[in-house]
Chain A
Amino acid sequence: MGDPITLIGKWLESLLFGWGLNPGIISLIMAVIGVVAIASAVLLIDILLVWVERKIVARFQDRLGPNRLGPFGLIQPIADVIKLLIKEDILPRGADKFVYNLAPILALATVLLLWAVLPLSSTIYGTNLNVGVLYIVAVGAISTLGIIMAGWASNNKYALLGAFRTVAQMISYEVPMVIALLVPVIMARSMGLKDIVDAQSVWFLFIAPLPALIVLITSIAELGRAPFDLTEAESEIVAGYHIEYTGMKFGLFYAGELLHALTVGGIIATLFLGGWRGPGAETYPILGVFYFFIKAFFLYWVIMWVKYSLPRIRIDHMLNLNWKFLTPLSLAILIVTAILDKILPRSPGAIYALGMLAANIIVGWITLQLLKSNVRRERKRVGEPRPVAQPETSAATITSQTSSSSS
Chain B
Amino acid sequence: MLNDWLFIGVFLVLAPLFPALALVIPRIVAPRKPNALKSQTYECGIETVGNTWVQFRVQFYIYALVFLIFDVELVFLFPWAVAFDQLPLFAVLEGVLFLLILIAGLVYAWRKGALEWV
Contacts and interface: CB of A to CB of B under 8 A. Distances in A.
B63 A168 contact: yes
B29 A86 contact: yes
B11 interface: yes
Interface string B30-49: 11111010111111100000
Given A171-B63, A182-B81, A27 B71 contact: no
A27 B20 contact: no
Interface string A176-191: 0011001001100111
B78 A191 contact: yes
Contacts of A92: 39-41
Contact of A156 (B42, B74, B96): B42
Interface in B25-81: 25-27, 29-34, 36, 38-44, 52-54, 56-57, 59-60, 63-64, 66-67, 70-71, 74-75, 77-78, 81
A134 interface: yes
Interface footprint category on B:
35 or more
Contacts of A89: 26-27, 30, 32
Interface stretch (A67-75, A215-223, A302-310, A326-334): A326-334
B84 A189 contact: yes
Contact of A175 (B6, B16, B70): B70
A315 interface: yes
Given A88-B32, A92-B39, A338-B95, A324 B115 contact: yes
A330 B25 CA distance: 46
A281 interface: no
A304 B40 CA distance: 35
A186 B81 CA distance: 5
B54 A323 contact: no
B108 to A, nearest CB: 13
Contact of A172 (B67, B92, B110): B67
A341 interface: yes
Nearest to B91: A342
A329 B31 CA distance: 53
Contacts of A335: 96, 99-100
A133 interface: yes
A243 interface: yes
B22 A36 contact: no
A257 interface: no
A319 B41 contact: no
B67 A133 contact: no
A381 to B, nearest CB: 14
Contacts of B92: 338-339, 341-342
Given A35-B10, A94-B52, A178-B74, 16 more contacts: A86-B26, A86-B29, A88-B33, A91-B39, A92-B41, A93-B36, A106-B16, A109-B16, A112-B15, A158-B43, A171-B64, A182-B77, A190-B82, A252-B19, A324-B115, A331-B106
Interface of A: 27-28, 31-32, 34-36, 39-40, 43, 85-94, 101, 104-110, 112-113, 116, 126-131, 133-135, 152, 154-158, 160, 164, 167-168, 171-172, 174-175, 178-179, 182, 185-186, 189-191, 238, 243-244, 247-249, 251-252, 315-316, 319-320, 323-324, 327-328, 331, 334-335, 338-339, 341-343
11 contacts: A27-B6, A31-B10, A157-B43, A160-B52, A168-B64, A178-B71, A182-B78, A320-B117, A338-B84, A338-B96, A339-B96
